[in-house]
């Protein structure tokens, strides 16, 4: 509930804004200044989707559209989360948080694109050349029962991807428009370009370190397996040499009525060949969750400082005194 209220309190933002919003009346900028340079946003803006009836599409088209929405919005949401973290860090480092809170209290932005409209956009996307190339064959040949199961599954996953992407893009737009209004957006872009490279380099270095550690561990495990195999072979040789003597002892035990003792040797080793994923530092769900928490924490900090919307009143931290990271 707290996260929802905070998200709504910074006003709603369009996933990809419609054109021609109240052009006859002069109004402050409401479109994210980053969207004009984003090829994915521009491609989606160019689609003719408003007249599409999602429910009138055949089962395969609807399921494919929701599958495409899940993938596309997850990618867009990841980029939005990366940009959001950079914006939060820049505003925090330059002590602009309180000014941002004050500015937001007097700002009204257009409403969100609805999930139903997003479904229409995704139908238009999968019917485009780019969409057909990426997703056209994903569900081809599936029977009706399978398509219905996919439709239900992708309805849930696409809705989750939509909500998370909208949340991140709403927050990015609010922070970016604030920096634009204060004339600091250009300075942020220069700073963010270097900071993004630094973060990626740190991720690449950590990934390489984990790989080396994993490689060394696998080598140790390989050597341990060879040692175990050698020991097993030696034991087998020993048991073979001792077999005539053991048979004689067993015959004597049976003759004397002594119980027979059986020894079992087992090797249940199970190797672990996990290797970490690679790619952009923001390309994980864990990172996006971290950024969501980070934004909530900074919002509370800015709002509770003197001059912020909370009047400086302290707010209890999560978890009984510690922030959740």
Residue 262: per-residue pLDDT: 38
Provide the percentage of residues in the chain whose pLDDT is more than 70: 71
Q: Are 151 and 63 in contact (CB under 8 A)?
A: yes
Tell me the per-residue pLDDT of 190-228, one tens digit each, with 9 for 90 and over.
999 999 899 889 888 888 888 888 888 888 888 788 878
Name which of 9-13, 53-57, 110-114, 165-169 the model is least confident about.
9-13
CA distance 108 to 30: 9
Q: Residue 171: pLDDT band by 50, 70, 90 thresholds?
A: very high
Contacts of residue 154, defined as CB under 8 A and 6 or more positions apart, other chains included, come to: 63, 66, 67, 69, 70
CA distance 224 to 235: 16
Residue 99: per-residue pLDDT: 92
Residue ranges of domains in the chain: 2-183+284-319
Q: Residue 19: pLDDT band by 50, 70, 90 thresholds?
A: very low
Residue 186: per-residue pLDDT: 94
Residue 204: per-residue pLDDT: 85
pLDDT at 2 over 70: no
Stated pTM of the model? 0.68
Contacts of residue 254, defined as CB under 8 A and 6 or more positions apart, other chains included, come to: 260
Closest CA to 79 of 15, 131, 29: 15
Residue 233: per-residue pLDDT: 79
Residue 270: per-residue pLDDT: 34
Q: Are 14 and 31 in contact (CB under 8 A)?
A: yes
Q: Residue 151: pLDDT band by 50, 70, 90 thresholds?
A: very high
Q: CA 102, 106, 107, 112 torsion: positive or negative?
A: positive
User: DSSP labels for 8-55?
Assistant: HHT----SSPPS-TTTTS-----S-TTGGG-HHHHHHHTS--TT--GG
User: DSSP labels for 218-257?
Assistant: HHHHHHHHHHHHHHHHHHHHHHHHHHHHHHHHHHHHHHHT
> Tokens 């229409």 identify what position?
120
Alpha-carbon distance values, 166 to 172, 202, 236, 248 (Å):
10, 28, 65, 80
Residue 244: per-residue pLDDT: 66
């Amino acid at each position: 509930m707290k996260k929802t209220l905070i998200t709504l309190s910074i006003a709603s933002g369009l996933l990809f804004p419609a054109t021609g919003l109240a052009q006859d009346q002069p109004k402050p900028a409401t479109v994210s200044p980053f969207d004009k340079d984003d090829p994915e946003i521009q491609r989606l803006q160019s689609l003719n989707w408003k007249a599409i009836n999602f429910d009138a599409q055949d089962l395969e088209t609807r399921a494919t559209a929701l599958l495409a929405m899940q993938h596309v919005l997850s990618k867009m949401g990841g980029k939005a989360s990366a940009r959001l973290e950079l914006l939060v860090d820049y505003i925090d480092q330059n002590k602009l948080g309180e000014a941002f809170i004050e500015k937001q209290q007097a700002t009204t932005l257009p409403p969100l694109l609805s999930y139903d409209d997003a479904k229409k956009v995704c139908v238009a996307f999968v019917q485009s050349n780019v969409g057909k190339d990426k997703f056209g064959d994903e569900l081809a040949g599936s029977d009706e029962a399978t398509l219905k199961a996919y439709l239900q599954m992708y309805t849930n996953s696409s809705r989750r991807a939509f909500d998370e992407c909208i949340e991140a893009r709403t927050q990015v737009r609010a922070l970016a428009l604030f920096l634009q209004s204060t004339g600091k957006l250009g300075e942020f872009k220069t700073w963010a370009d270097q900071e993004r490279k630094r973060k990626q380099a740190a991720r690449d270095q950590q990934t390489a370190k984990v790989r080396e550690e994993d490689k060394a561990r696998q080598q140790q495990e390989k050597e341990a397996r060879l040692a175990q195999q050698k020991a097993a072979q030696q034991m087998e040789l020993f048991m073979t040499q001792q077999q005539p003597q053991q048979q004689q002892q067993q015959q004597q035990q049976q003759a004397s009525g002594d119980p027979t003792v059986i020894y079992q040797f087992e090797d249940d080793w199970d190797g672990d060949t996990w290797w970490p994923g690679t790619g952009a530092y923001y390309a994980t769900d864990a990172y996006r969750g971290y950024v969501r928490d980070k934004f909530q924490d900074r919002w509370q900090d800015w709002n509770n400082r003197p001059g912020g919307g909370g009047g400086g009143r302290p707010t209890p931290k999560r978890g009984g005194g510690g922030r959740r990271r």
